[in-house]
Amino acid sequence: MDTNKEIKALISALYETICGPAGQERQWERMRGLFFPRAHMIRTSIGADGTAQALVMDVEEYIASTSGFFQDQGFFE
């Protein structure tokens, strides 16, 4: 077992599910399969006031919060 290869493969698979041009349907079912039940992810950003912000969400919350964005914007990593 090569943990580094497994981690890289998982990250690549995740990006494959969310990357694409504006309006392209994302691979949400595949994304759901990459996470354990009740798994959470954290989106970090810097707020307008310069403070660090963190948004904790599960897979369904991520899908709901980004679906509209991906309709209007392409995303490539």
The H helix count followed by the E strand count for the chain is: 3, 2
Range of the structural domain that residue 57 is part of: 3-72
pTM for this one? 0.84
Structure tokens at 35: 């996470």
pLDDT of residue 1: 67
pLDDT of residue 10: 94
- Residue 27 pLDDT greater than 90, yes or no: yes
Q: Is residue 28 part of a domain?
A: yes
- Residue 42 pLDDT greater than 90, yes or no: yes
**What does the longest C-alpha to C-alpha distance in the chain come to?**
45
How many domains are there within the chain?
1
User: Measured between alpha carbons, how far is 13 from 30 in angstroms, rounded to an integer?
Assistant: 9
- Mean pLDDT over each residue of the chain, to the nearest integer: 96
- Residue 63 pLDDT greater than 70, yes or no: yes
pLDDT of residue 11: 96
